[in-house]
Amino acid sequence: MPDVRTSVVESVRAALSRARASARAHQDAAKADLAAAEARLERVRQAAAQRPARAAAERDRRLAELDANHTATLADLAHQARVAGAMRAPGAASEPWETWHPTPAARGERPDLLRVGEVRIPRAGTSPALVPLLDRGHVALVDDIQVGGDAVVAGLLLRALGRTSHGQIEITGYDPERLGGGLAGFAPLAPAGLLTFVGPGGLTPLLDGLVDHIRRINETVLAGDYASLEEMAKRTGRRPEPWRVAVLLGGDEPSRHERAQLDRILRTGAACGVHLIVRGITVEPRPSVQVIRVDGYRAQVSGCGTLPVFLDEAPPAELVTATCRKIADRVSTGPAPAVFANLIPPVFWTEHSAGGLTAPVGDSPEGRTVDVTLSDYPPHALIAGPSGTGKTNLIYAWMGALAARYSPEELAFYLLDFKEGVSFARFAPGRRDPSWLPHVRLVGVNVNTDREFGLALLRFLGGELRRRADAAKEHEVTKLAELRHEDPQGHWPRIVAVIDEFQILLTGRDALAQEAATLLEDLARRGRSQGIHLILASQDVSGIEALWGRPALVAQFTLRIALPKARRILHETNLAAETLPRHHAVVNADSGAPDANRIVRVPAASDRRVWSELQHKLWQDRPPWLGAPRLFDGDAVPRLTASPDFQALRPDVRDPVVLLGESIDVRARSARLPLTRSPGRNLAVLGTRVDEACAVLAAAARSLARQHADGDARFSVACLDPDAAATAESLRADLPADTGWYDTEGLAALLPSVEPGPLPHYIFLFAADAAASRLAVNEGGRTGHDHLRRILNTGPERRTHVLGWWRGVGRLRDDLGGVGSRTDAIGAWVALDVQGADLTGFFPQQGGPAWYPRPWRALFFDRARHRIPEVVIPYGLGG
């Protein structure tokens, strides 16, 4: 029993011990959980205490980041605004006044915005405040303080002037309160017509005039082809009208009519280049009006939103005055010429000339090209203008426009310039430029003393007129267009003959002037139907007066072109040329009647670089059969070896010819003297000019030597003047080796020995009269003069010819036997510095020929071939 109880007690004890241990363990676990919970609670409490600080810190960081991004964005936007401002308002449109200077925009470039101040953005810098004006709209100022508004007006006007070409802005000021004082700095523009002041009461006519101007631009300039002048300038590169800026500075409240006109201008003016700067007059808000509300030097500009604008100071008064004075000086010299490239079509030679020739010569005031026609009506043109007004330049422009439209098969030019100069030489090949204008067939320059060349041109054109008239008769037609239709294989281009300073050709009452006038009148009257057109030009009134005595001739020139200050070319009541500016002309196709006037702005076509570019393009496209034109330069000395006639000479000819010089003719031909077996086939060169006399005899000797092989002819050369020795010596290389060379004694021995032989014999006497005393000696009953006369009289029939130089007509007459002796032994002569009256006896008409000596010209007469003598140019001594 006791053991059982003990066992139970032990079991209970053990159970209690386990229970206590388990409770202790649960207690420890609970304590641990409690401690953990308390720790968590503490952490939560600490975290809760720290969260507002972190949130505040994060908030502060994010706010700082947003602020920095905002500042950077503003700075970037401000930078972009400055860059855009520099692009939209470059140079004078926005440059600070300290460094400001005019920078005109390039042709066709869109007008800029204009700076009036700057927008200051905190922490981002500044940006220019720009205002649109030219081609964009108008500006209205609202201010109570005078100073700020004055600065805006002056700044806008000066910047606009600085960004446009001189004379492209015309300003009208309406300032009834201060009577123009608000624009006093711009007063230097007034003398040039760029600034006009309108006094009190002048607002109505000012607005009416601007409305009429807008109407004219829409009707005649834009004409439905363009929406605005800006579009026209962009598409064509030309702006035919200046901008007109009217500055309205206060005054009484506009009337109902004035308000209506003001609204019309605000609505339609910008497209036509008419703009208003209004101050002190209420203007209704509209998109085309920029409103500037001025408060001292701060303002609100409608284009800048609510951002405040700090206005620029007014430009310095001396800067305004100096700039306006320079612009006025430049404009006073005249407007700029038109652009030559505008006259040239994009594709060359697309027109046909059967019905006439039509090409532009410049721009009209509306900016459109002005075409000029040469056809059956009007057939011919007169051009007149004082020296320096651009007569030659106009001819260049007209020729360039024609040459670009019509090929050389359709058009041929013959050019003649009587003034001292080489204006037309560029159309022929030269040493610096081998190109030529393919349409040009003849160029005559420096012919002021060679009226014979002008006559030769008229004779040539007269011959061409007869050729065409004969062809027209053959095909039973009357006009060139009909002839070309009936004879498509023929070469019938229209001919345009340009004669500058033509009055020189008609000067005087000699036979040459009379024949020239007759030929000119015939060409003017009949040339129209055969496609031959004349353009006569003159610098002054004398040229026109030379024609005025020939009404039938003048009546054919219905196309008149008058340059500034030209007189007597238009109708006596037509004074349009008196007020023309530079680079302008009046084109009138109705004989100068006032109602037919067309004002033309002529391009600068005389610039060699501009012209050469066109000429080279045309030259490269020339037909392969087309040769270079004939160039006649009155100041040039021709060369024998370059003569086509000399180059064509060959040996073994039956009747050799002597080449004496170059004929003054359209074709480059030589003056020829045939040495036939006829009496009198001798040549006398008369005058004291050694070089010219030697040149004539040297050319004669070389041309004869070229026609004979060695041993086929006998040459004898007697040089009796030391000044001619060098020329005679130079002939040794060109004459046969067996040529005889003689001095005075040798000549006295030669003449008696000259007898007919099997070979032609040519005797050249340099200064034949120098041997007079020696030839006068009587030897064997006969003198040397007797032998010379025998040779002169009987030699040509036996193929012996004398070609001599006598230093005076009287000396030749003495050698022929004195006064009253026969002179027919000298069948041909070349007179140098000999008066025409001295040639009496050697010329069939009483009193001798009309001849007035001039340097390096000679008068050649051949009894057997000439009715009247011809003027020739001796070849140069160098061959």
- pLDDT for 333 equals 74
| pLDDT at 707 (0 to 100) | 94
Lowest model confidence (mean pLDDT) among 73-87, 191-205, 323-337, 395-409: 73-87
According to the model, what pLDDT value does residue 356 have? Answer: 95
116-143 pLDDT, tens per residue? 888 876 655 677 888 999 998 999 988 7
pLDDT attached to residue 36: 85
* Full DSSP string of 577-603: GGG--TTEEEEESSTT-GGGEEEEEPB
Give 304's pLDDT tier (boundaries 50, 70, 90). confident
pLDDT value at position 375? 94
Is residue 448 scored above 70 in pLDDT?
yes
Q: What is the pLDDT of residue 87?
A: 58
Question: For residues 526 and 533, what is the distance between their CA atoms, to the nearest angstrom?
Answer: 10
Give the tens place of pLDDT for each residue, 150-176: 888 999 999 999 888 888 899 999 988
**Which pLDDT value is given to residue 262?**
92
CA R_g for the chain: 49
Q: How confident is the model at residue 549 (pLDDT cuts 50, 70, 90)?
A: low
Which of 463-472, 813-822, 836-845 shows the highest mean pLDDT?
A: 463-472
Instruction: Give the span between the Cα atoms of 862 and 181, in whole angstroms.
Output: 84
Note the pTM of the prediction, 2 decimals.
0.73
pLDDT grade, residue 337 (50/70/90)? confident
10 Å Cβ neighbour count for 854? 12
What are the pLDDT digits (tens) for 573-615? 898 898 888 889 999 999 999 999 999 999 989 888 888 899 9
pLDDT at position 1 is: 55
Phi-psi region of 873 (alpha: psi -120 to 50; beta: other; left: phi over 0): beta
Which percentage of the chain shows pLDDT scores above 90?
Answer: 49
* Other CB atoms within 10 A of residue 615 CB: 21
The pLDDT of residue 286: 86
Helices 391-405/608-620 angle, 10° precision:
20
pLDDT at site 834 = 95
Q: What was the pLDDT predicted at 871? A: 95
User: Please, are residues 228 and 135 in contact by the beta-carbon 8 Å criterion?
Assistant: yes
- Omega within 30 of 0 (cis) for the link into 758: no
